[in-house]
Amino acid sequence: MTSRQGPEQGAEPAGKSLFSLQRREKLMDELRAHGSITVRAIAAELGVSELTIRRDVNLLAVEGLVSRVHGGATLPSPLDRTASMTRQQTNRYSIGMVVPSLDYYWPQVISGARAEADERQAKILVRGSTYDAADNRQQVQALLTTQNINGLIVAPDTTGEAGRELLRWLNSLPIPVVLAERRSPIEIPAHRLEWVATDHAFGAGMATRHLWQEGHRKIGCMTDSNSPTSAHVVRGWLQALGALRIPAAQSVNEDSAHVPTSDRAEHFDRILQLCRETDTTAMLVHSDTQAVAFVQHCVDRGVDVPGSMAVVGYDDEVAYLAEPAISAVRPPKQYVGRLAVQLITARISEGPKRPVHRVQLNPDLIVRDSSLGGPRSSARALEDSL
C-alpha cells in the first residue's frame, strides 16, 4: 500500500515526510546495519527534529526492540536493565511455505514446521505446488500478493536455466527466504538464500557401507530420476563404492523414472537378470515405495530377501509394510521443517547482520530384515531360484 522509495532516501533530507511507522522501520534498518544509532544522525538524515526521533526510540524501547542509551539507541542488549521482563511479545509472524507435493515426503516436513511455528507463535501458510519452476514461482507469487507474509520457506525446482532464474528471483525478494531440502549453488546471485537440507549422499553412503559390512561385495542402485533427491543418492552411493574399492563401472545402476506401472514386472526382471550376471547381491532402491514393489517382486519370483537379494530403501514412508520389512534410510523430515522455521524466524528478528546459515542434516539408517545376514550361498541361490 505505501509506496516505498529506493533503498537510500538520497538527496532529499526534507523531501517527502515519512510516516512515523516508516521512520521507525528506517531506524531499525540503520540499527541492524550498524548496531547502534545516534539520535542526532538519524534526525539529520530523516530531516525531522531530534525530539521526534527520541519519541520513536522510546516507543521501540518499550516494545523491547531497541535498548535506549544516552544519545541514541543500540540493539537490544542483555545488559539493558530497563528491558521489559515480558519478553515473549505477540511476536507472531506469518510464514509462507511452498512445497512440491502434499502427499509424499512433505507432509512430515510441514508437520515439523507447524510444530516449531506453534512454539514461536508464528503461522504457517502452506501451498502445494509441483516439481516445476514456473509453477513454483506462481505459487510463491500468489502467497506474496494475497497474504502478508514475513518470510518464505520453499522447496523449488533448481534444475536447468529456469531453476537458476527462479533462485535468483527468490534471492532478490524483499523478505527472507529459506530453502527446504534444496541447496543454492555456489553462485553469488543467490548469496542471501539460506537452506536446510538432508545430506542424502551421506544417507546413501551409510546404506552402502551397511550392506558392505553385512558381507555384500557387489551393491547396485535403483534410482528414480524424477526426484531431485536421486542425484544425491547416486553421488553418495558412488562415493561409497569408491571408498570401499568396489568398481563402479560394473555396478548395477538402473533408473525407474520412465517405466510405466504396466511394464514394472518386466523392468524388475531385467534388473534381477543384471544382478545375476554381475553377482550383485544387494540393492539400494530409491523411494521406499519402489523398494516395497521390488521386494514384493523378488518374493513373487522366489528370490529370497535378504538371503539372495538384500534391499535397503531410500526414504522411510512405507518400508516397514513390506514382508520382510525393508531396511531404509530415514531423512529427518520433521527436523527439516523445524529448522527451516527456526532459520526464518531468527532471520526475521535479527536482520541481515546475522550470517547466512546453511545446514545439512544427516539421515538415519533404520535396519530391518531386508538387509540382515549377508548373502547366503552367494549368487548360487539366486541362480537356482530362477
Partner DNA sequence: GTCAGGTTGTTCGATCATGATCGATTGAGA
Partner DNA sequence: TCTCAATCGATCATGATCGAACAACCTGAC
Positions in the binding site for a copy of itself (CB under 8 A): 1, 3, 9, 18-22, 24-25, 28, 33-36, 60, 63, 65, 67, 69-72, 74, 77-81, 118-119, 186-188, 191-192, 199, 201-202, 205-206, 209, 239, 243, 332, 335, 339, 352, 354-364
Q: Does 357 bind DNA (CB under 7 A)?
A: no
Output 7 or 260, the one with its CB closest to a copy of itself. Answer: 7
Return the closest-CA partner of residue 218 out of 365, 382, 366, 378: 378
**Residues between 1 and 20 that touch DNA (CB under 7 A):** 17, 19-20
Cβ atoms within 10 A of the Cβ of 83, count?
15
Cell triple for 299:
518374493
- The partner in contact with residue 186, picked from a copy of itself, DNA, none with C-beta cut-offs of 5 to 8 angstroms by kind, is a copy of itself
- The partner in contact with residue 260, picked from DNA, a copy of itself, none with C-beta cut-offs of 5 to 8 angstroms by kind, is none
Output 1 or 85, the one with its CB closest to a copy of itself. Answer: 1
- Which residue in the block uniquely carries the three cell numbers 517527502? 16
Q: What one-character-per-residue DSSP string does 236-297 give?
A: HHHHHHHHTT--STTS-EEE-TT--GGGHHHHHHHHHHHHHHHT--EEEEESHHHHHHHHHH
Q: Does 39 bind DNA (CB under 7 A)?
A: yes
- The partner in contact with residue 39, picked from a copy of itself, DNA, none with C-beta cut-offs of 5 to 8 angstroms by kind, is DNA
SS (H, E, C) 207-223: HHHHHHHCCCCCEEEEE
- Which residue in the block uniquely carries the three cell numbers 547366503? 376
- The partner in contact with residue 78, picked from a copy of itself, DNA, none with C-beta cut-offs of 5 to 8 angstroms by kind, is a copy of itself
- The partner in contact with residue 48, picked from DNA, a copy of itself, none with C-beta cut-offs of 5 to 8 angstroms by kind, is DNA
Phi and psi based region of residue 165 (left: phi greater than 0; alpha: psi -120 to 50; beta: remaining) = alpha
Three-state secondary structure call for residue 98: strand
Q: How far is the CB of 201 from DNA (least distance, A)?
A: 41
Output 37 or 292, the one with its CB closest to DNA. Answer: 37
Q: How far is the CB of 173 from a copy of itself (least distance, A)?
A: 14
Q: Does 55 bind DNA (CB under 7 A)?
A: yes
Contacts of 183 (CB under 8 A, 6+ apart): 158, 195, 197, 358
Contact set with DNA (CB under 7 A): 17, 19-20, 23, 38-40, 47-52, 54-55, 58, 68-72
